[in-house]
Amino acid sequence: MACPALRPGVCQGGAPMVARRLLCGVGRSLLALALLALVLPVWSASAAVPAFRGEYYNNRSLVGAPALVRDDAEVNFNWGAGSPGSPVHADDFSARWTNSVNLAAGTYRFTVRADDGIRLWVDDALIIDRWVLQPATTYTADRTLSAGYHNVRMEYFEAGGDAVAQLSWARLGDSSFPQWKAEYYTNPDLAGTPALVRNDAAIDFDWGTGSPAPSIPVDNFSVRWSRSVSLASGGAYTFTVTADDGIRLRVDGRLLIDRWIDQPARTYSANTYLAAGAHDVVVEYYERGGMARAQASWARIASPADTPTVTVDDLDVGFTRGGDLAAFTGFAFGYRDHMFYLWNSTSAVYAWGRWTPNLPGPGRYEVQAFIPSRYAGTSAATYRIYHNGTRHDRTISQAPYYDEWVSLGTYDFDGAGKEYVYLSSATGEAWASRAIGFDAVRFIARSEQPAPPPTCTITPVLGFGSVWASNASVRSALGCATRAESPVWLGEQTFEHGRMFWRQDTATIYVLYDDGTWQQFADSWHTGDPETDPNIVAPAGLYQPKRGFGKVWRENPAVRSKLGWGTIEEHGLNGAVEPFERGLMLWSPQLGIHALYNSGRWQHF
């Protein structure tokens, strides 16, 4: 039997890969856990970082057998024109470093410096991707991590000339700044050492034509504010900024607002869901000239947590396991740090789970399932909701979700204690090829009137589902979903007057203009084609798009005229798409949800 997939990208190194190999060989978790305790080293939180495993290849693509394998105490190399070591070439080589490190909870800034290409993963999430020819260049990415072990993987290639590969990280936060740590720079690029560092009680400044401080010029300056914010309750939050000129806002390392352009005072907002507890917020701003203004705030939006909710977790008395109980494996992941999983069957049910709520009374409840970040990789988990004498089935893919609540729909319940949600081992996929996660299910009281009977066979869920269900105009314009939401690797870039997206699965480029219209192009750029036109020089602080984006931009004058210059460089990330009868929905973790209608119009949510 082939080794079953837990979730794309989970088994890339460190403990998860060891666990997976043991599970594949043994087939049951008890023996796997016993062996795991024997093979995994134990490091204390204060112990030094263990050595990286370094694999060096005599090609740029990390293919074939490595020419050299060794332990590297750190990734901090400046080889110049030399070689990493015999028998590795001085040019046209590549390297991969992997490690599992024990970190305290917090937000970490990962910094890499490379000449030439570099990629960095943390816990199998690609956070830096600059696989290009370049002089020694530094990149950073922030990542909020839980306490415990985390997998770090860096890949690098050297084409020719000098060779540099360096990696470091540091935990953010400074108790000497009780509110905002404010770093003021005497340039608009946040470059070099700040000329002034102080505590700012709030980001609420309207300097007019003046200066923030005597040591800062009135024009051509920049500021970075950072702080840890403690939220008393989880829920949806709206972040709002106003700026003249450029501004960016990140929450827990995720870019929510990016308007890094010269502009008069304008206000932008973005919504995100945050759990209760500490979150790191970073606001960056620059002033080019004229009036100067920078403001930032946030507010909680009414959320399901504000209404009566009954949660049945996998360790609660309301949860029942049936069938082959030995098939279930418990792990310390997911809601309240525990979940069960088992391997799927194709059609015959050999094990199942059931969540029975103790509802306060009859009413209309939204049912949501918590999908844990690991051991939940099936693409066809069918939840059966038994309510008010009827049954509704909802089939979802667990694979795209990482510690997230997923809506299964809203239904009428009689509250008599005999209603429940059921999930079995049968998924229709090849036997034992996918893990099914069993975690918490919650029931949220809703006051709205029952919706008309659905006419669509596929109901959008999560963010797409929320937008589609709550906006009649969106439902009317898009129609029914023709396939379930699926994860996809995206490229994206923002421009002065719009944005571009690239889909890897279909090699399609979407061009979205600020006037609400959009166009679609096939990606005809191929490796080896020119990335840019050296005769086209972007203004300072702006960018000529590269590769597929650049080819569309250069070969279509109307596109170039309507979009303007790029305001950031293209970058890749994991997103999601869902096709509909009359359009599609696209989600970017940085830019949000976009509804693209076949009429040629688009909306942002």
Domain boundaries, the chain: 1-40, 47-171, 180-304, 309-451, 486-604
Angle at 18 between CA 102 and CA 4, to 5 degrees: 130
Q: What is the pLDDT of residue 301?
A: 65
Q: What is the pLDDT of residue 244?
A: 94
**3-class DSSP assignment, residue 20:** helix
Q: What is the pLDDT of residue 485?
A: 82
Residue ranges in 375-435 assigned as alpha helix (H)? none
Q: What is the pLDDT of residue 541?
A: 85
pLDDT in tens, 63-119: 999 999 998 888 989 998 889 999 999 999 999 999 988 877 778 888 899 999 999
Instruction: Specify the DSSP element, H or E, that contains 552.
Output: helix 547-555
Q: What is the pLDDT of residue 344?
A: 95
**Residue reference for tokens 């599970």:** 23
**pLDDT of 14 higher than 60:** no
Angle at 172 between CA 168 and CA 176, to 5 degrees: 135
* Nearest Cα residue to 380 out of 345, 328, 341, 411: 345
Q: What is the pLDDT of residue 323?
A: 94
* Nearest Cα residue to 500 out of 486, 514, 480: 514
Range with the poorest average pLDDT among 137-146, 244-253, 300-309, 342-351: 300-309
With cut-offs at 50, 70 and 90, classify the pLDDT of residue 252. confident
**pLDDT of 48 higher than 90:** no
Return d(Cα 371, Cα 375) in angstroms, integer: 9
* Exposure string over 557-582, b if 16+ CB within 10 A, otherwise e: eebbebbbbbbbebebbbbbbbbbee
Mean pLDDT, all residues of the chain? 83
Q: What is the pLDDT of residue 43?
A: 32
**pLDDT of 31 higher than 60:** no
Domains 180-304 and 309-451 share a fold: yes
With cut-offs at 50, 70 and 90, classify the pLDDT of residue 5. very low
Return d(Cα 482, Cα 472) in angstroms, integer: 18
Q: 47-171 has which CATH code?
A: 2.60.120.260
Return d(Cα 376, Cα 401) in angstroms, integer: 9
CATH topology of domain 309-451: Jelly Rolls (2.60.120)
**3-class DSSP assignment, residue 311:** strand
Q: Which DSSP category does 455 fall into?
A: -
Q: What is the pLDDT of residue 355?
A: 97
Q: 180-304 has which CATH code?
A: 2.60.120.260
Residue ranges in 388-461 assigned as alpha helix (H)? none
**Between residues 110 and 2, which one has the greater pLDDT?**
110
Are the beta carbons of 603 and 473 closer than 8 angstroms? no
Return d(Cα 89, Cα 507) in angstroms, integer: 35
**pLDDT of 476 higher than 70:** yes
Q: What is the pLDDT of residue 236?
A: 65
* Nearest Cα residue to 457 out of 369, 349, 605, 581: 581
User: What is the percent of the chain with per-residue pLDDT over 90, rounded to a whole number?
Assistant: 40
**Between residues 145 and 330, which one has the greater pLDDT?**
330
* Nearest Cα residue to 573 out of 483, 510, 522, 502: 502
User: Both tokens of residue 205?
Assistant: 């400044």
pLDDT in tens, 352-403: 999 999 988 777 888 999 999 889 999 899 999 998 777 888 888 898 888 8
**pLDDT of 203 higher than 90:** yes
User: Both tokens of residue 364?
Assistant: 């209309």
Return d(Cα 271, Cα 248) in angstroms, integer: 14
Q: What is the pLDDT of residue 447?
A: 59
Q: What is the pLDDT of residue 455?
A: 64
Which residues does residue 382 pair with via DSSP β-bridges, in sequence order?
395
Region 284-290: mean pLDDT is 95
